[in-house]
């Protein structure tokens, strides 16, 4: 079976490399063509060309506007041979926008799956992501062998929007926890402790978590090369606020965390890893 991949940012490139390492017959496309050419696999002319050549297409894009452009823009997926094809969209989308993607692909006799992932570059490189999937069960079964190449834990939630909503809820925890850890580390330093010692104690206490274990070295070395950017968590928490609004319920910690990550834009560090929010707290 021929597989396509669109969206070669930090996470997308890692996922594509994982598929290649698993022996998948992969063709790629990316708006910045140099990133596509850097992979040792065929490069399509545009998304329409890609879907015409393949049976299943993965997407990993920044936001729902980018997904819409790839699906419905000039040279987009719907301009290609979509008949019987499956789209696996691993983007963290706006929960309302996924409905238009289901509809657009259905009109072209193709199946769309929401499949946002939990985890970043390191688990992606190991095929250890968690994948949440909504969409038609028949399409899911067809796509599952390839989803399993990037994900260890796969949760099939079936009903449209549920996978996207759950991903946003997960990122409520992720964003809030990262902001709290960053503040605690900066607080400990200002109280007179060495940063490494603060992190060591947090890992032995209430701060022990996948998040701190994953970001420990970045925080100690202040190497904030991007795995998952502040711009992305800011976008996700904004989408979550929209979800809270439609549910007519308040969003407390998520709203605060969003504004904290929003401060990275004024500091010019929004494209760095989201653990760089530590720098915001070091200002005080």
For the chain, the structural domain boundaries read 2-158, 164-281
Q: Which class is 2-158 in CATH?
A: alpha beta
| Nearest-5° Cα angle at 230, 248 to 190 | 105
Total number of residues shown for the chain: 284
First to last CA, the chain: 55
**Average pLDDT over the chain, rounded to whole?**
97
Chain segment 2-21, per-residue pLDDT in tens: 999 999 999 999 999 999 99
Chain segment 113-133, per-residue pLDDT in tens: 999 999 999 999 999 999 999
d(CA 240, CA 235): 9
Is pTM, for the whole model, over 0.85? yes
Q: What average pLDDT does this structure show over 93-122?
A: 97
Chain segment 207-236, per-residue pLDDT in tens: 999 999 999 999 999 999 999 999 999 999
Q: Which of 248, 255, 283, 254 minimizes the C-alpha distance to 269?
A: 283
The pLDDT value given to residue 284: 75
Q: Residue 150 — pLDDT band, cuts 50, 70, 90?
A: very high
Q: Which of 61, 179, 73, 69 minimizes the C-alpha distance to 114?
A: 61
Chain segment 244-278, per-residue pLDDT in tens: 999 999 999 999 999 999 999 999 999 999 999 99
The pLDDT value given to residue 125: 96
How is domain 164-281 classified at the architecture level of CATH?
Orthogonal Bundle (1.10)
Q: Which of 186, 266, 199, 189 minimizes the C-alpha distance to 234?
A: 266
CA 43 vs CA 8, 51, 72: distances in Å: 12, 12, 20
Q: Count CB-CB contacts under 10 A for residue 262.
A: 16
Q: Which of 191, 210, 190, 188 minimizes the C-alpha distance to 199?
A: 188
Chain segment 44-97, per-residue pLDDT in tens: 999 999 999 999 999 999 999 999 999 999 999 999 999 999 999 999 999 999
Q: Does position 159 have pLDDT exceeding 90, yes or no?
A: yes
Strands 151-158 and 2-6: unpaired
Q: Residue 203 — pLDDT band, cuts 50, 70, 90?
A: very high
d(CA 57, CA 53): 10
The pLDDT value given to residue 283: 85
Name 2's bridge partners: 25
The pLDDT value given to residue 236: 98
User: Strand locations in 2-144, DSSP E?
Assistant: 2-6, 25-29, 56-59, 86-89, 111-114, 117-118, 129-134
């Amino acid at each position: 079976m021929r597989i396509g991949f669109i969206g070669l940012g930090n996470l997308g490139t890692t996922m594509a490399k994982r598929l290649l390492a698993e022996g998948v017959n992969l063709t790629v496309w990316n708006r910045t063509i140099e990133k596509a050419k850097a992979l040792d696999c065929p490069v399509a002319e545009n998304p329409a060309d890609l879907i015409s050549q393949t049976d299943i297409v993965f997407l990993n894009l920044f936001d729902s506007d980018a997904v819409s452009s790839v699906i419905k823009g000039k040279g987009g997926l719907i301009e290609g041979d979509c008949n019987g094809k499956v789209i696996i969209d691993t983007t963290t989308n706006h929960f309302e926008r996924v409905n238009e993607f289901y509809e657009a692909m259905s009109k072209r006799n193709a199946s769309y799956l929401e499949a946002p992932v939990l985890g970043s570059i390191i688990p992606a490189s190991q095929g250890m992501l968690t994948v949440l999937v909504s969409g038609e069960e028949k399409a899911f079964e067809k796509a599952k062998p390839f989803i399993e190449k990037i994900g260890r834990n796969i949760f099939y939630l079936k009903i449209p929007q549920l996978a996207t909503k759950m991903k946003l809820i997960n990122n409520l925890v992720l964003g809030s926890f990262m902001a709290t850890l960053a503040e605690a580390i900066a607080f400990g330093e200002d109280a007179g402790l060495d940063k490494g010692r603060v992190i060591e104690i947090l890992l032995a206490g209430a701060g022990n978590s996948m998040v701190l274990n994953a970001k420990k070295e970045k925080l100690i070395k202040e190497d904030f090369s991007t795995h998952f950017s502040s711009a992305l968590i800011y976008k996700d928490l904004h989408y979550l606020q929209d979800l809270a609004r439609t549910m007519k319920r308040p969003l407390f910690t998520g709203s605060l965390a969003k504004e904290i990550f929003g401060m990275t834009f004024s500091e010019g560090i929004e494209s760095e890893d989201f653990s760089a929010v530590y720098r915001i707290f070091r200002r005080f």
